[in-house]
A and B are shown apart, each in its own frame.
Chain A
Amino acid sequence: MSSLTLRQALVRRRYLLGGWPWRAALYLLSSVPAGMALLLSVLLLAAVGGALSLVLIGLPLLLMLALIGLPVAAAERRRLRLIDPVPLGDPHRAPAHAGLSAWLRTRLREQATWREFGYALLFAGVLWPLEGLLVGGVLAVCGGLLATPVVMAAVTGGEEVRVLKLYLADSYPQAFALALLGLVLLPVLSYPLGWAAVARAALTRALLSAGDDGVDARIQELGRSRMRLVDAFEAECRRIERDLHDGAQQRLVALSMTLGLARLESPGEPLGGLLAKAQEEAGEALVEIRELVRGIHPQVLTDRGLAAAVEDVADRSAVPVDVELDIPERLPRAVETAVYFALCEALANVAKHSGASRASVTGRDDGERLTVEVRDDGTGGAATTRGTGLQGVADRLSVLDGRLLLSSPAGGPTVFRLDVPRTPAHLVE
């Protein structure tokens, strides 16, 4: 089988010489018996199923009717090979579990199933009669004209014959002329026939292709699973923070207090000095844990939301930072966390690389999207490729359907802008 499609063949000069016109005709004509059978099945299933649905036996019949698109589509994909060797993919997903009920659940939930059902109804009610008319018409006209002399000879003994019920031919030259006309019309009419078949194939392709919804569903699922991963990660961070707070931090404070009391009791050397040193160590450990905890999950973000947490980061920044965040209401936790860590990264970069003397964080939540911009007056030349920090930030934002823009021409200023929908699609709250 050549890899040519009917559509490509139609625009070539050799179209008429090959089998293409016949294939096109066959494609259109084969619709007729198939369509008839389908129409009968649909009407039968609907009538019997509808009537018997009162006694429940009809319900499986109606279910069969709903799924009638499946075998029809499978057959149609095959039939399409007649004029189009490019295979039409199957849009259906494999059910997650074995068994009829799982299969039914999967199929009934798929958009493709219902598109195929629609196609089946269209096929049964509209398409096949049209196709039948078209091919039948062409064959009847050409066949009728070609057959004129034969009919004249056979039926009326050469006296006269009414051609196509329109024209009365009453001599052999006339009859042969008409037959010649039929011979000329056949190739001429095979062009519109071919285009009709192409149009019909395009319709089939549009309605029965795997389309996007199979892919869409997978992307949706991916999005959701990414979101779940991020969520699990954050829950884990919160748990670690909680454990550190309730465990190590409290114990160290208690230790420091005990050491303090011990120093009170024995101010003399050398013990006093050693106790002081021990207490200092405990203090250092506390500072370290505090910093660690803030890096994992800042409590102020949970308690007071994004604006307060960002101001807190700005307070600690080595470069002076002005914060102006207009966020009237608390955002979903996942959004707050992702944006917070994005801004932390941006401000850390300002402090580390930019050489800026000032930076600003401005942002607003317009009810739809949250847009935040970090701007500095540094030397510019920052790139997303530098370090994995920004890549991680971008990944985390993209989970929430957010975007990250970095503009940093040489000579500055560097502008880091992010925007996130207020309620991302895959939010697990």
Chain B
Amino acid sequence: MLRIVLAEDSVLLREGLVGLLERFGHQVVAGVGTAGELTAAVAEHGPDVVVTDVRMPPGFSDEGLRAAVALREARPRLPVLVLSQYVQRAYAEELLDSCDGTGVGYLLKERVGKVEEFVGALQRVADGGTVVDPEVVRQLLRHRRDPLSRLTAREREVLALMAEGRSNASVAEALTVSEGTVSKHFGSILTKLDLSLTDATNRRVLAVLAYLRK
């Protein structure tokens, strides 16, 4: 069971999300509608994970994202999942750059429709994983300079799936190949991108993402 602080200015969506999360046995300890209230609620409740919208009153710009980054600076281990209406590399990068990029997620808002995947992603973020929306990853991967153009189409697919924070097993499942093949692909990706192999999948993904964001 996760204790969640939820920030979303649309009452309709907020209610819907509360219902959805409770349906999966989580507890929304506070549902708020502004960035200021979000900061206060986190201070008050000390939740396991924060779910926040990007665009909120009063400015309807990117208050939610800014609040999330500020929260992360104050409490580096607070997991935050940001829901955005837009595929926006700049936003995702800012979020991933906050602290070391563990325990953060950037998802398109509409992913909440895929209920189980959404809740799974939230769990991964709460466990310290990194979740980046496939659309955003695709944007990160497109038209990057030369090192990436050296990757084969298959390797890119693997990398994209990895960047979503999936394990080797889940990547293998998605591509209907064996786990060994995935490992091999990933090894060759790392070689091509001049990245050293580290132990945690997340670390590797982050290294890749960091490289892509250069």
Contact = CB atoms under 8 A, between A and B. Distances in A.
A95 B122 CA distance: 68
A355 B91 CA distance: 32
Contacts of A308: 90
Given A256-B110, A303-B62, A290 B115 contact: no
Interface in A240-256: 242, 245-246, 249-254, 256
Interface residues of A, number: 38
Contact of A258 (B16, B86, B87, B91): B16
Contacts of A109: none
B88 A321 contact: no
A258 B19 CA distance: 10
A292 B115 CA distance: 26
- Classify the secondary structure of A's interface with B: helix
Interface string A313-334: 0111100111000000000000
A253 B139 contact: no
A242 B10 CA distance: 13
B112 A290 contact: no
B112 A253 contact: yes
B65 to A, nearest CB: 8
Nearest to B141: A315
B60 A242 contact: yes
Nearest to B9: A246
A261 B85 contact: no
Contacts of A260: 20, 112-115, 118
Given A311-B89, A314-B143, A315-B89, A254 B16 contact: yes
A303 B61 contact: yes
Interface in A71-93: none
B12 interface: yes
A144 interface: no
B116 interface: yes
B16 A257 contact: yes
Interface in B161-214: none
Nearest to B90: A308
Contact of B12 (A250, A259, A314): A250
A323 B160 CA distance: 23
Interface residues of B, number: 31
Contact of A254 (B13, B62, B139): B13
Contacts of A290: 85-87
Contact of A315 (B61, B109, B142): B142
Interface stretch (A278-286, A393-401, A420-428): A278-286
Interface in B70-126: 85-91, 109-110, 112-116, 118
B55 interface: yes
Contacts of B88: 299-300, 312
Given A261-B20, A317-B143, A256 B89 contact: no
A304 B66 CA distance: 12
Interface in A263-309: 263-264, 279, 282-283, 286, 290, 294, 299-300, 302-304, 308
Interface in B120-158: 139, 142-143, 145
9 contacts: A253-B112, A261-B20, A264-B116, A299-B88, A300-B90, A308-B90, A315-B89, A315-B139, A315-B143
Interface of A: 242, 245-246, 249-254, 256-261, 263-264, 279, 282-283, 286, 290, 294, 299-300, 302-304, 308, 311-312, 314-317, 320-322
Given A264-B23, A302-B61, 15 more contacts: A250-B10, A253-B109, A253-B112, A254-B12, A257-B16, A258-B16, A260-B115, A261-B19, A290-B87, A294-B86, A300-B91, A303-B61, A312-B88, A315-B89, A321-B143
Q: What are the 4 tightest A-B residue pairs by CB atom distance, in nearest-first order?
A: A256-B113, A260-B115, A320-B143, A250-B10
